[in-house]
Amino acid sequence: MNRLKLILAACCLVLAMAGFAQERPSRVPAKRDPMDVMQPDSTFLTIYLRGDERYHVRMTIDGYVIKQNKKGYYCYAKVNSKGQIVPSCRVARNPENRTKCDWHYLKKLDKNKKLKLIP
């Protein structure tokens, strides 16, 4: 009987130690280096990731939030009526490749600081 109690106590001790030894997952920041992604039309776009494993956004090199559409293009992001970040109809381009129409669209869109923070 004493031997059984000793074995049971040892098992409880091992299980308790194993429980304390487990690490809680920590937040990991998104890779901060710029990366080039290929759009479906074979053009390249330089993007950054911002955030952690729970929430992150993709941004152009000059700070506009972008979102990928159903066709695979990265487009400038906007907030819909439900408060969700969705892709706009305007395909994102690097600053040196933007047209006058792109710049005009971006003036209206603005680099909305709140847009970067919406989960």
Chain segment 46-86, per-residue pLDDT in tens? 999 887 767 778 999 998 999 999 999 999 998 888 888 89
Please list, in sequence order, all residues whose beta carbon lies within 8 angstroms of the beta carbon of residue 67, skipping any fewer than 6 positions away: 58, 74, 75, 77, 85, 86, 87
Residue 21 belongs to some domain of the structure? no
Whose structure tokens read 């997952």?
25
Residue 94 belongs to some domain of the structure? yes
Structure tokens at 67: 């979102």
Provide the CA 31 distance to its chain's centre, in angstroms: 10
> Which range marks the domain in which residue 48 is found?
35-117
pLDDT at 119: 45
Q: How far is residue 101's CA from residue 119's CA, in Å, rounded to a whole number?
A: 29
pLDDT at 25 over 60: no
Residue 102 belongs to some domain of the structure? yes
pLDDT at 41: 95
What percent of the chain is predicted at pLDDT more than 70?
64
Residue 24 belongs to some domain of the structure? no
Residue 16 belongs to some domain of the structure? no
Count of domains forming the chain: 1
Provide the CA 10 distance to its chain's centre, in angstroms: 45
Residue 80 belongs to some domain of the structure? yes
pLDDT at 39 over 90: yes
pLDDT, tens digit (0-9, with 9 covering 90-100), for 83-104 = 888 999 999 999 999 999 999 9
Q: Between residues 112 and 71, which one has the greater pLDDT?
A: 71
Residue 11 belongs to some domain of the structure? no
- Does the predicted model carry a pTM greater than 0.85? no
Residue 69 belongs to some domain of the structure? yes
Q: How far is residue 119's CA from residue 114's CA, in Å, rounded to a whole number?
A: 10
